[in-house]
Amino acid sequence: MDNLQDTWVYLSASPLFHLTLTLIAFQAANWLFEKAGRNPLLNPVLGAVLLVVAVLVATGTDYATYFQGAQFVHFLLGPATVALAIPLYRQWYRVRQSALAIGVSLLTGSLTAAITAVLVAWLLGGTTEMLASIAPKSVTAPVAMAISEELGGLPSLTAVLVIVTGIFGAMFGPPLLNLMGVRDWRARGLAIGTASHGIGTARALQVNETAGAFSGLAMGLNALATALMLPILWGIFF
Amino acid sequence: MIGHLTLILTCQLIGEVITGLLALPVPGPVLGMVVMFVGLLVRGGVPDGLGQAADGLLKAMSLLFVPAGTGVMLHFQLLGQALLPLGAALVVSTLATIAVTALLMLWLGKEQADG
């Protein structure tokens, strides 16, 4: 029994345990996702997060301790974002063909994301701080947090809202697009990437390379468009 | 493999340095993507190994969001207090954004393809 205790004390403080936990949780969630025929509603990010949170709560582990192990996985988000240049390059002829359509759709989508979020939260009695925190929710996390801070929101709340938006968009975006009869991979990818950044892009890449490339492009352009437009728009109303 | 990973990380590093020096409103990795993309345009093709390294990373992209997603546990209380305004705003806005962007792209994209 002492050995078990000692081993747990040792392991719970080493990065190995929480890194492995992250991978196992994801494998399990992904297995379920594949078994269900890649049903977007069984989003593997959501499943893995729920499993990890359950283990952390059950073992009384705080997030900072968990992150010491998980940071090795987290770090790879940067290189993966750079790697999005490759599908974008392979699909570049399609992007160039519809550059104007992409520009107009993206700017409109970007404004829709910020304005509808602020409007609905305001109608339901959200505080100004909440409105500022949710306004950039469709933008990739590091940019969204910076915008939120500039508007007077809570960057850490924004980070959570960004992740939840990403998961929600990856889950309900594909069924919504099916319902609307949108079969064009360019339109599907652009819409998912504009609304739900990298998590939506990860999902789009699994389904179709054109959708993945357009989604990655939309993620980058939306970050830029929102960072430039939102503070100006915000200044007019608040 | 190591060479191609080095190339990817170097692009990210260049992106981080440029955004830092010029105080640009885009994150370093997104600018790193632009650096890599321009490099591919100049070179005129994707080297085999680089394509494989990139595809490997991108296949695992969902996994990479799990640590950040787990951060939700830090804000259970705050989210619980403001569940209605934040939850409703998130749901309505995300669905509206997807619908508006897709329909506009479908409509404008078709016009161009026909013309």
Which element (helix H / strand E) includes A99?
helix A99-123
Q: What are phi and psi of B47, to 5 degrees?
A: -60, 140
Which residue in the block uniquely carries the two structure tokens 């992150």? A67
Q: Cα dist. A174→A125, A215, B104 in Å?
A: 30, 13, 17
- Which of A36, A55, A75 is the C-terminal boundary of a domain? A75
Name the residue range of residue B9's domain. 1-64
Picking from B25, B79, B92, the nearest residue to A227 by CB comes out as B25
CB-CB under 8 Å, A137 with B112: no
pTM of the predicted model, to two decimals?
A: 0.90
B81 in the same domain as B105:
yes
**Coil/strand/helix, residue B111:** helix
**Residues A222-234: tens digit of each pLDDT:** 998 999 899 999 9
Q: Given pLDDT bands bounded at 50, 70 and 90, which one contains residue B114? A: very low
C-alpha A16/C-alpha A59 separation (Å) is 16
Contacts with A, B 3-42, CB within 8 Å = 5, 8-9, 11-12, 15, 25-30, 32-37, 40-41
**Reported ipTM:** 0.91
Residues whose CB falls within 8 Å of the CB of residue B84, separated by 6 or more in sequence, listed in order:
A124, A125
Q: Which of B105, B107, B108 to mutate to test the interface with A (most CBs of A within 10 A)?
A: B105
Cα B56 to chain centroid, rounded:
16
Is B50 touching A (CB cutoff 8 A)? yes
Q: What is the count of structural domains for chain B? A: 2
**Each residue's pLDDT tens digit in chain A (238 positions)?**
678 888 888 887 788 999 999 999 999 999 999 999 999 999 999 999 999 999 999 999 999 999 999 999 999 999 999 999 999 999 999 899 999 999 999 999 999 999 999 999 999 999 999 999 999 999 999 889 989 999 999 988 999 999 999 999 999 999 999 999 999 999 999 999 999 999 999 999 999 999 999 999 999 999 989 998 999 999 998 8
Nearest to A136 by CA among A119, A117, A152, A121: A117
A112 in the same domain as A201:
yes
A63 in the same domain as A103:
no
CB-CB under 8 Å, A85 with B62: no
A97 in the same domain as A71:
no
Which residue in the block uniquely carries the two structure tokens 């440029």? B18
Q: Cα dist. B91→A65, A113, A121, A177, B104 in Å?
A: 31, 11, 11, 15, 20
Dmax (CA) for chain A in angstroms is: 68
Name the residue range of residue A55's domain. 2-75
